[in-house]
Amino acid sequence: MPELPEVEILVRHLRPLIQNKTIRGVQVRRAKILKPTSPAELKRVLLGAKFTGLSRRGKYLLFDLRPRGRRVAVVVAAHLGMTGRIYLVRHGSMLPKHAAVVLNLGGKDLIFEDTRYFGRFTLDTSILAKLGPEPLSDEFTAGHLYEALERSTQSIKVKLLDQSLLAGVGNIYASEALFRARISPRLAAHNLTEDQVRRLWRAIRTVLAEAIRFGSTVPLNHGQDQNRDGLFYFGRAADAPNYYEERLRVYDCAGRPCGRCGSAIKRIVQAARSTFYCPACQRSAVRGKSD
DNA sequence: CACCATGTTCCTTG
DNA sequence: CCAAGGAACATGGT
């Protein structure tokens, strides 16, 4: 579920639901998620605190809180990792197997669930300083991208996953953006022409903006458990329509015909992760190499 | 049993 | 010191 568009949709969904709610209970069921914050510290800061805002930076959710009896605001930075979810249930509902953190908000419980426990829910916000620009902001320009790619010999696909280059693109939208820009994922970053960089810059923004627009039409509370709210189905739930996958043009589409030219979409592995692309539409600029 | 999975960090190698 | 590649983290689905 978690790349920039999914996190953005989640933030928009959650914001009005938690605004001004006071935390009456904090339950930490998997301390690893808080690192380097300790469960005791989290409880000390969050008990009695009130949610004052919710925003996003890259793939992070930023919960603004005003602790009880204190002026200074605090921020909880949450990252969903691969399998993280955040949603509200009726207070006292049966907890899912992998609930890592549960906040009692009175009538509702805010659940941070994460099957693989790669996510984060922490008071440590130092990681945010290392993030590159927001891809959809004015700060992120084609010039910025060109300069960042200029001296890198890494393949462009792998480079797009670097959160210090730009924040929020993950494995799915990296493939999607390169397809849209018609650039081979194997091309070394410093070999992109100015025109290609410009196309890629535009493609990144279009792909992310489209995903957000699309995500805003998807109901967040479908799925099996009526009790739940804010579930964002990314995977292939048997009982839920595959909104997301139908819309992706290359990701997880190996063997299927390219929507532009009809060639079979190919899967390759780069930096131990799958990349999907159309070998006909996304030709490498390196002569002699057939993609 | 094998391989795959939306992510990040740490370690090794060059 | 830097860049790049790979393993590790942990659990589940196919």
Summarize pLDDT for A190-212 with one digit per residue, the tens: 999 999 999 999 999 999 999 99
Which position among A15, A24, A202, A273 bears the catalytic label? A273
pLDDT the model gives residue A215: 80
pLDDT the model gives residue A225: 55
Q: Using the structure, give the distance in angstroms from the CA atom of A161 to the C1' atom of B9, rounded to a whole number.
A: 14
Name A residues 175-234 whose Cβ lies under 7 Å from strand B.
234
Q: Using the structure, give the distance in angstroms from the CA atom of A176 to the C1' atom of C14, rounded to a whole number.
A: 25
pLDDT the model gives residue A136: 97
Q: Using the structure, give the distance in angstroms from the CA atom of A272 to the C1' atom of C7, rounded to a whole number.
A: 10
Summarize pLDDT for A146-200 with one digit per residue, the tens: 999 988 999 999 999 999 999 999 999 999 999 999 999 999 999 999 999 999 9
CA neighbours within 13 Å on the CB side: how many for A17? 18
pLDDT the model gives residue A230: 59
Name the residue closest to the C1' of B5 by its CA. A82
Query: What value does the mean pLDDT of chain A take?
Result: 89
Summarize pLDDT for A235-270 with one digit per residue, the tens: 433 344 455 556 899 999 999 999 999 999 999 999
**Using only C-alpha atoms, what is the Rg of chain A?**
20
Summarize pLDDT for A26-63 with one digit per residue, the tens: 999 999 999 999 999 999 999 999 999 999 999 999 99
pLDDT the model gives residue A6: 93
DSSP result, A27-49: EES-GGGGTTS-HHHHHHHHTT-
* CA A274 – CA A142 distance, rounded (Å): 26
Summarize pLDDT for A67-122 with one digit per residue, the tens: 988 789 999 999 999 999 999 999 999 999 999 999 999 999 999 999 999 999 99
Summarize pLDDT for A107-136 with one digit per residue, the tens: 999 999 999 999 999 999 999 999 999 999
Is there a contact between A157 and A204 (Cβ–Cβ < 8 Å)? no
The answer for residues whose C-beta is within 8 angstroms of residue A149's C-beta and 6 or more apart is A156, A159, A189, A190, A192, A197
Nucleotide nearest to A159 (CA to C1'): C4
Q: Could you tell me the pLDDT band of residue A1, with boundaries at 50, 70 and 90?
A: low
For residues A218-243, give the mean pLDDT: 52
For residues A208-225, give the mean pLDDT: 73
Q: What is the pTM of this model?
A: 0.92
